[in-house]
């Protein structure tokens, strides 16, 4: 694809704006300034305009370790958003959005992409994508609570929750795997069994695991292997 089209499609500006950027030496391909708008670029090239990386015709996928106090939205009048985190690191955030939501006080794995179809599939109730959370509890976790969670509990919806998987870490900490994604679901499930969530972190979503080298607020692009794993859900496998 021509360089100017590649950049315009990728959101760097209009075709005439990007031609100007190219002429002024603001565009590099694989680290080398290129001043020809008709230079040919492809999927494997790293194209940057004024320090930001662009990619045309290819979806982008980022894994964020969401910190607390940041909201899972694209824009917000009051709070910093997960998209602001990427923008502050000079990522071109055009069309990016978080796949589903984590509460403001929840941390951990959040997928950010511009692939609407994949997002739809991951969030679809029909696909039953497992989500695993590390859950810190106010009170001791009992075998009775475990039994109820694994059978399904009434959180005030039409039906009880689907059976969850529970792994006990200690008296006040569990790993909980659920298949639905109702509003405040984990907090409501623990409330329904007489306990209370005081700490919540998502560790897994389908085949994707939070990279434990990512500190709070850090992100990275997904590997090809991770993207392919997500696409197996997408294809209904
Ligand atoms: N369940 C919750 O209660 N909150 C979250 O952020 C995610 C799952």
pLDDT per residue over 168-217, tens digit each?
999 999 999 999 999 999 999 999 999 999 999 999 999 999 999 999 99
Question: Domain limits of the chain?
Answer: 3-54, 61-124+208-234, 131-205
Domains 61-124+208-234 and 131-205 share a fold: yes
pLDDT of residue 51: 86
pLDDT of residue 234: 56
202/106 Cα distance (integer angstroms): 8
pLDDT of residue 64: 98
pLDDT of residue 111: 98
Instruction: Find the DSSP H helices in 152-193.
Output: 185-192
Domain 61-124+208-234 maps to which CATH number in 3.40.50.20, 3.40.640.10, 3.40.50.1820, 3.30.70.580? 3.30.70.580
pLDDT of residue 236: 53
Instruction: Report the atom number in ligand 1 closest to the C-alpha of 197.
Output: 3
89/91 Cα distance (integer angstroms): 6
From 53, 14, 60, 57, select the one nearest 37 (Cα to Cα): 14
131/114 Cα distance (integer angstroms): 21
pLDDT of residue 237: 46
Phi, psi of 149 (to 5 degrees): -65, -35
Phi, psi of 21 (to 5 degrees): -60, -40
Domain 3-54 maps to which CATH number in 3.20.20.70, 3.40.190.10, 3.30.420.40, 3.10.290.10? 3.10.290.10
* Residues of the chain above pLDDT 70, percent: 98
CA of 174 to the centre of ligand 1 (A): 14
Instruction: Report the atom number in ligand 1 closest to the C-alpha of 101.
Output: 6
CA of 217 to the centre of ligand 1 (A): 18
pLDDT of residue 24: 96
Please identify every stretch of the chain with a pLDDT value under 70, giving residue numbers as ranges: 57, 234-237
Region 131-205: CATH code: 3.30.70.1560
The DSSP call for residue 88 is H
Q: Which residues are annotated as catalytic?
A: 103
Any ligand 1 atom below 6 A from CB of 72: no
From 63, 81, 65, 62, select the one nearest 217 (Cα to Cα): 65
Any ligand 1 atom below 6 A from CB of 113: no
Burial 157-176 (b: 16+ CB within 10 A, else e): eeeebeebebeeeeebebbb
Supply the residue whose CA is at minimum distance from atom 7 of ligand 1: 102
């Amino acid at each position: 694809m021509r360089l100017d089209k590649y950049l315009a499609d990728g959101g760097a500006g209009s075709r005439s704006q990007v031609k100007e950027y190219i002429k002024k030496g603001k565009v590099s391909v694989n680290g080398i300034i290129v001043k020809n708008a008709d230079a040919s670029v492809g999927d494997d090239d790293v194209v940057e305009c004024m320090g930001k990386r662009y990619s045309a015709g290819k979806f982008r996928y980022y894994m964020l370790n969401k910190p607390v106090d940041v909201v899972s939205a694209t824009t917000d009048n009051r709070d910093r958003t997960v998209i602001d985190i990427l923008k502050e690191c000079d990522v071109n955030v055009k069309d990016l959005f978080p796949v589903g939501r984590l509460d403001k006080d929840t941390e951990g794995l959040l997928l950010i992409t511009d692939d609407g179809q994949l997002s739809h599939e991951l969030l679809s109730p029909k696909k039953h994508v497992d989500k695993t959370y590390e859950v810190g509890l106010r009170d001791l976790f009992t075998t009775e609570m475990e039994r109820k969670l694994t059978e399904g509990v009434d959180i005030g919806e039409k039906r009880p929750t689907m059976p969850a998987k529970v792994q006990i870490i200690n008296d006040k900490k569990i790993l909980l795997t659920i298949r639905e994604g109702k509003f405040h679901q984990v907090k409501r499930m623990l409330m329904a069994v007489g306990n209370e969530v005081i700490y919540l972190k998502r560790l897994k979503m389908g085949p994707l695991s939070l990279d434990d080298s990512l500190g709070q607020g850090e992100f990275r692009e997904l590997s090809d292997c991770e993207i392919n794993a997500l696409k197996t859900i997408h294809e209904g496998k």
